Structure formats: structure tokens, C-alpha cells
């Protein structure tokens, strides 16, 4: 049973370009979380999605950031017009359900560098 998969593992973009980060949850998991980790800091929640629904996007910046989890295919975190401050590691986690006792399983992350 493959774990959470994220691609690309490393992404370099110039200021103003778009970044697309992909996350395939563990088999059987329909709940996806995105977190951002700035250098030497803890992870900060961004968004929580179930299939075809955004449940909680309270951690997402209001502009330039969007997320989706379509019926088929991976979850996508999209950052438009990237700026240097977007440079960070972006982690996806999946869970079999929304119960608070469920642990979240993390992917290896996508390290975004904005030049």
C-alpha cells in the first residue's frame, strides 16, 4: 500500500510564475490536508479538503492560493504569481476520516524555491 505521494519533490519558479503541487493520498483515504513549513519552523495548516469539497481553507492566504481535490485524480495546490516569500516546503497529509483520533499520514513534501 503506497503512502502519500507528492510531486514534484522540488520545484523552482521565478517570481510571477505559477506553481502547481500535486498530492495523491493513501489508498482508501478521502481526506486531504495541506500544510506549509517555512525554514526552521513548524508546519502551519493551510486547507482541508474532501473529494470535490473544500471544508476548511482558513489557513490559506486570501490571494494567489487555491486548492482542489477532484473526484478523479490528485489534490492540487496552486500558487499564482509566486513571490519569494512563497519559498517553503509544502506537505500534504491524508486521513481515512475526519475523526479527531485519526492520525494524518504525511507525504515527502514539495520544496518550492522562488528565484
Partner 1 sequence: AQSVAQPEDQVNVAEGNPLTVKCTYSVSGNPYLFWYVQYPNRGLQFLLKYITGDNLVKGSYGFEAEFNKSQTSFHLKKPSALVSDSALYFCAVRGMDSSYKLIFGSGTRLLVRP
Distance between CA atoms of residues 27 and 111, nearest Å: 24
**Among the listed residues 22, 59, 76, 87, the single contact to partner 1 using CB under 8 A:** 59
Counting residues that bind partner 1 (by CB under 8 A) gives 30
- Which span (15-23, 37-45, 65-73, 77-85) binds partner 1, by CB under 8 A? 37-45
Q: Which is nearer to partner 1, 13 or 31 (CB)?
A: 31
The yes or no reply on residue 42 touching partner 1 (CB under 8 A) is yes
The yes or no reply on residue 107 touching partner 1 (CB under 8 A) is yes
Enumerate residues 6+ apart whose C-beta is below 8 A from 36.
Answer: 43, 44, 46, 88, 89, 90, 91
**Among the listed residues 91, 94, 112, 114, the single contact to partner 1 using CB under 8 A:** 91
- How many angstroms from the chain centroid is the CA of residue 36? 8
Listed residue (33, 46, 26) closest to 88, CA to CA? 46
Amino acid at each position: 500500500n503506497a503512502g502519500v505521494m507528492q510531486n514534484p519533490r522540488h520545484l523552482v519558479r521565478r517570481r510571477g510564475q505559477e506553481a502547481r503541487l500535486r498530492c495523491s493520498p493513501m489508498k482508501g483515504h478521502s481526506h486531504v490536508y495541506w500544510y506549509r513549513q517555512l525554514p526552521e519552523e513548524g508546519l502551519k495548516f493551510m486547507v482541508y479538503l474532501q473529494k470535490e469539497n473544500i471544508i476548511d481553507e482558513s489557513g490559506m492566504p486570501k490571494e494567489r492560493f487555491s486548492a482542489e481535490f477532484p473526484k478523479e485524480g490528485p489534490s492540487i495546490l496552486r500558487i499564482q504569481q509566486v513571490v519569494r516569500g512563497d519559498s517553503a516546503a509544502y506537505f500534504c497529509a491524508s486521513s481515512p476520516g475526519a475523526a479527531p483520533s485519526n492520525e494524518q499520514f504525511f507525504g515527502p513534501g514539495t520544496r518550492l524555491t522562488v528565484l
